[in-house]
Amino acid sequence: TAETGPTGLSDTTLAARAAAVLRDNDTGALVTASPKLYPHMWSWDAAFIAIGLAYLDVGRALTELDTLLSAQWSDGMLPHIVFTDADGYFPGPDRWGTDAAPQRPSRVRTSGICQPPVHAIALRRIVSIARRTSRAEAELAESFTARAWSALYRWHGWIARHRVAEPCGLVTIVHGWESGMDNSPRWDAPYARVRPGPDLPPYVRLDTLGVDDPGERPGDDEYDRYLWLIEQLRRVRYEPTRVLAASDFRVGDVFSTALFAIACDDLAGLAEELALPVSAEVAELRSWAQRSRQAVADAADPVTGLAFDRDLRSGEVLRTTTVAAFAPLLCSALPESLEARLLADLVGPGWAGHPGLVAAVPPSVSPDEAGFDPRRYWRGPQWPVVVWLFSFALQRNGHTSLARRWRAEGLRLVSDGAFGEYYEPFTGEPLGSTQQSWTAAVTLDWLC
Ligand code: 9WN
């Protein structure tokens, strides 16, 4: 098209560059999360990457999901990292010590925790892209779905069995990395209770070498805690029945819970569309979706609609407001009037409507919050992938004009063609990694 973004790149050029990022990061069976900083497959990245790939080649998109599923643990967990042979990322498989876990997959090495369950959402999106593309690609996607469905169901079953907290119904995480929002201020209080022991084996960070400025990454104290939790989980060999008691970090995560709700509905919806003979499983998925949606509603403040995580060790409600507190909007958890109020807050001057923003999309933390840091990772920058999740959910939930606006503003965010991992909200500078695959993938979805 003739449209151009703020930096002058036409939509066609931007799409071509996004496609090139996915091709350049493609090892054949998987697209690494980024070329330098993250030379492996990450679980939730892979789901978004697969959506982007579907615009280039549906078969290749399905391979991406297949690669992730082939790393599924025998208990059903999808691991958060599937390692390639590349060096340069710490902690690698030796540090995770997953080779000693009996449930690990036999042919690939992985980490021992998980990430948000967005895969069924991605698969449903890919099926719909494939149907728009050609009959042959639709058939490919549908037959893949019929084949892969039970693996995804087992993954959801693992969460339902091992990670749904009683009685609040929130999805439990045992490491901040499981939330995908590693150093978000959401986790400051629970991390304050994680005290690395003297027997934490020494280590050398590599992540700070992969960015221009170490100030864009979590601090060393935070890393000590991340590594300490791995130590605790490694010692119980990642057995799902033991990790909850073993980890000093045990939190009910509203954002993951909202994503689980929509992913369960999507997985059930796929089975119904394809008339798969799984009616008992579909009923279970619908009940998990319903329970999760209710858990998000229960976690929401009755006046503002903001939903808060819960520290399951202390019982404390974590009343830190970040973009994750808007989780009810993802899964339509609230009554209409409260949803309208919450949405008004998110588009208002504290968030996407803040007058200083280059792109009018929500940052990870409001600039009005005391701890806001415009450059540090999950403590303030804008993340295209989070914007995508909200614009996608708004579109689905009938807020089409806002969804369209955020799509346009999301494109403004990425219009420099650098495909930053995250962006400085007031200058639009790409931060963290560049050529980040999931940023390229959501760009393609916005453009196509
Ligand atoms: C730890 C790969 C991943 C994303 C996460 C993001 C970051 C890893 C890291 O990168 O986390 O899992 O080393 O910082 O926080 O959401 O999946 O892109």
4 lies in some domain: no
* Ligand 1 binding pocket mutation candidate from 177, 217, 382 (most atoms within 8 A of CB): 177
As given in the structure block, the two tokens for residue 197 are 């022991």
Q: Choose the catalytic residue: 57, 66, 182, 316.
A: 182
Token look-up 């690395």 returns: 196
CA distance 250 to 190: 8
Residue 5 forms part of a structural domain: no
**3 in a domain, yes or no?**
no
* Selection from 257, 256, 254, 258 nearest residue 331 by Cα: 258
Q: Decide whether any atom of ligand 1 lies within 6 Å of the 231 Cβ.
A: no
Specify the amino acid at residue 72: Q
Instruction: Give me the pLDDT at residue 4, please.
Output: 56
Task: Output the pLDDT for position 1.
Answer: 40
Alpha-carbon span 143 to 67, nearest angstrom:
16
Do residues 111 and 99 lie in contact, with contact meaning Cβ atoms separated by under 8 Å? no
CATH code of the domain containing 307: 1.50.10.10
Q: Is 8 left (phi over 0), alpha (psi -120 to 50) or beta?
A: left
Look up residue 414 and give its two tokens: 């990425």
Contact 417/386 with Cβ under 8 angstroms?
no
The structure tokens listed for 190 are 């629970």
Note down the domain range covering 222.
11-447
The response to whether residue 206 sits with its C-beta less than 6 Å from ligand 1 reads no
**Domain total for the chain?**
1
- Which residue's entry shows tokens 């057995």? 239
- Which residue ranges of the chain lie beneath pLDDT 70? 1-7
Ligand 1 and 45: CB distance under 6 A: yes
CA of 143 from ligand 1 middle (Å) equals 31
**Half-sphere exposure for 33 (CA within 13 Å, toward CB):** 24
Over residues 259-279, the pLDDT tens digits come to: 999 999 999 999 999 999 999
Given the residues 222, 421, 424, 445, select the one marked as catalytic: 421
Q: Model confidence over 76-119: pLDDT tens digits?
A: 999 999 999 999 999 999 999 999 999 999 999 999 999 999 99
Q: Is residue 376 part of a domain?
A: yes
Identify whether 45 is a catalytic site residue.
Answer: no
| pLDDT (0 to 100) of residue 210 | 85
Residues 110, 14: Cα–Cα separation, whole Å: 33
